[in-house]
Amino acid sequence: MSSFHTLSLTELAQGLRARRFSSVEVTGSFLERIERHQGTLNAFISITREAALAQAAAADRALAQGTGGVLTGVPIAHKDIFCTEGVRTTCGSRMLDNFVSPYDATVVSRLKAAGAVTLGKTNMDEFAMGSSNETSFYGPVKNPWNTALVPGGSSGGSAAAVAARLAPAATATDTGGSIRQPAALCGVTGVKPTYGRVSRYGMIAFASSLDQGGIICASAADAALVLREMAGFDPKDSTSVDAPVPDYVGELGRPLKGLKIGLLKEFFEKGLDRAVEQRIREALAIYEELGAQLTEVSLPHLPLSVPVYYVVAPAECSSNLARFDGVRFGHRCENPRDLQDLYRRSRGEGFGPEVKRRIMTGTYVLSAGYYDAYYLKAQRVRALINEDFIRAFKSVDVLIGPTTPTPAFELGAKTSDPITMYLNDIYTIGANLAGLPGASIPCGFVGELPVGLQVVGPHFSEARVLQVADAFQRQTDWHTRVPKAFA
C-alpha cells in the first residue's frame, strides 16, 4: 500500500495501533515522496532517512508489544529551528550551516516520547525572518499549488510539506504569523498556541517575547492530537506557563450553538482582496448555520500592530543574535586578523540581507538616543493592543477574519520592497503581540489558490479555537484538497 499520504494523521495513528500496517511501511512511503518531490518544492533542508527508518522499526516493536505513545510510528517533520540531537539545525542560515545540536528541543523530545518518527528538518526563512520563505540560505520553498508562487513564511517548508502530503504534520513557529500565514497560502491548518503554552527550550530564538512553537497539519482534529503531546509546562523554559493542558481531542465535536463570533472591523477595511473577503463571508455563513452569532468588533489600536512589531521584534532579534559571533559555534571566517575582524567577517558572511536589516534596525531602536522614542513607545502601544483584545473577549468567544489580505504571490514579487512584504502579516501580528492562540484553516479558493480563515481566542483557549476550526471542517472539505501534482 503506497497511498498512506491520503490518510489523515489521526487515521495513520489509528491504523498503526490496530496493526493494519507498519511504521516502516508508512515512513518508507513518506520518505519516497519527499525524495521524489524535494527537487520541485525544496521543502526540506535535511532528510534523516536512516534515522527515520530505525525509529520506525523501534515503533513497530513497541506496537507489537502493546506499548508506545499516542503517536507511535507516525512520521512527522520538524522546522529547522528546533534543535535535534545529532542532526544539523541550521535555522535556514549559513551561520548555522555546520551546527549539529547536542540536544533535543523540548518539543522534539515530547513528540519522540509520544512515539513520533522524524522524517527530517523543513526549510524556513533565515532565523524565521520573512513572510515568503525566500530568505533561506538554502533557496526558496515553492508553493505546491503553483510552484511559481511563495508558500508563505517563515514556516513555508513545513506548510508546503504538509500541503503536498510529504508529511502528515510538521512543527512550526509563529513570531508574527509564521504558522498561520503559510498555512493559509498553502491550504492547510496551522495552530499557534498561547504564548507560554508550548516550551521554547531548544527553539532557536528570534524575538523571545513573541516566538511560539506550534503545529501545521491537514486538519484541526490532527492538530489537536499533536498539540496535546507538545503542550505543557517545562521548567527549562522561564516563559513556560504552569497550567494544565486540556484534552484537545476530547473537546472537539461540541455544538457551536450560542457561540459568539466577533468580526474584526479593521480586517475588512482597505487592503483586503475582494475575492478573499467573499470566501471569508461564505465561511461565516456556515458558522451562522451551525448556530453561532456574529457581531462586529473593533480593535482601534490593531492597525498599529505592524509598526509596533517591526520595532519590538528587531530589537529582540538584535539582542538574541549577538551570540553568533564566530567564537563558540556556527560560521567562522577564515584567517581573522584580530578579534574585531573575526566578529565583523563571521557575522557579515554568516547572515543574509534580511537578518542584517533587522539586526541593524533593532540595534538602532535600542540605542541610547532612540530607546524612548521607538522601543518604549512601541511597548506602550503593544499594551494598548492587548487591552483591545481583552475588551473584545468580554463580549465575544472568538474573533474570526481573514489570515492574509491576498492569496499567495509570485516568488520575487516583494523581495525588493520590505515594507510591502511586512504588510502581508497585517492580520496575524496582533495575536503575537498579545500572546493569544490562533489558527488558520482553509475556507475556499480564489481561482486555483487556497484562502485561509483565521480564528483567534482568549489566552489559553486553544481547545475552543480548535473546536471552532474543527466544526467548520466537519461541514466542508477544503482541508482535504491536495494540489493535483501531489494527489
Q: Would you name the residues annotated as active-site residues?
A: 79, 154, 178
If one counts every other C-beta atom within 10 angstroms of the C-beta of residue 307, the result is: 15
Cis omega (within 30 of 0) for bond into 154 = yes
Q: What is the DSSP letter of 453?
A: E
Sheet with 398-402, side-by-side order of all strands: 44-47, 117-122, 75-79, 169-174, 212-217, 189-192, 438-446, 449-456, 398-402, 260-264, 293-297
Name the pairing type of β-strands 189-192 and 260-264: unpaired
3-state secondary structure (DSSP) of residue 129: coil
Show the cell assigned to 258.
450560542
All residues at 6 or more sequence positions from 164 whose CB lies less than 8 Å from its CB, including other chains = 33, 37, 41, 43, 144, 482, 483, 485, 486
Show the cell assigned to 343.
566578529
Helices 23-41 & 156-163 angle (0-180, nearest 10): 120
Using an 8 Å Cβ cutoff, are 448 and 146 in contact?
yes
Q: Residue 419 and residue 421: Cα distance in Å, rounded?
A: 5
Q: Please report which residue ranges of 297-337 form alpha helices under DSSP H.
A: 305-320
Q: Amino acid identity, residue 272?
A: L
Looking up cell 461565516 gives 284
- Of the candidates 120, 187, 58, the residue with the CA atom closest to the CA atom of residue 452: 187
Using an 8 Å Cβ cutoff, are 375 and 312 in contact?
yes
Q: Residue 291 and residue 268: Cα distance in Å, rounded?
A: 23
Show the cell assigned to 208.
523571545
